Amino acid sequence: MRTLRWAAELAVSDEVHKARLGNQELKALLGSNMLNAADRDFIFAALDAALEEPVQAIELAGDDVEVVAATTDLSDDGEVLIPSEEES
């Protein structure tokens, strides 16, 4: 449960990198054998809470929403590589 609490706290962080880490940790916990079926409800609750605000912002934006594809490609020094518009 400590790992779940830690991941949930990160997932709702205002800092993007921490929030991404928290979401990835929650997803990893879902796929692990560390939790039983009842514990998985806590993960879904944490994921719902982490996504609630962004989902509301998207819904309020209506037709003004622009989908941006993200990448997980990393350079040798750990920098995230995102292609420019010309490359994509």
pLDDT tens profile 7-61: 999 998 888 899 889 989 998 998 888 888 888 888 888 888 888 887 787 788 8
Domain membership flag for residue 80:
no
59: domain range?
2-63
**Which pLDDT score, from 0 to 100, does residue 18 have?**
92
Q: How far is residue 8 CA from its own chain's centroid?
A: 10
CA dist., res. 5 & res. 29, Å (int):
11
Say yes or no to pLDDT of 64 above 60. Answer: yes
**Which pLDDT score, from 0 to 100, does residue 52 have?**
83
Q: How many domains does the chain have?
A: 1
Domain membership flag for residue 59:
yes
Domain membership flag for residue 21:
yes
Closest to 39 in 3D by CA, of 51, 54, 29? 29
Residue 19: CB partners within 8 Å, gap ≥ 6? 10, 11, 12, 13, 50
**Which pLDDT score, from 0 to 100, does residue 87 have?**
52
Domain membership flag for residue 77:
no
Domain membership flag for residue 25:
yes
Full-model pTM: 0.61
Place of tokens 């709702």: 12
In single-letter form, the type of residue at position 27 comes to K
Domain membership flag for residue 28:
yes
Domain membership flag for residue 88:
no
Domain membership flag for residue 76:
no
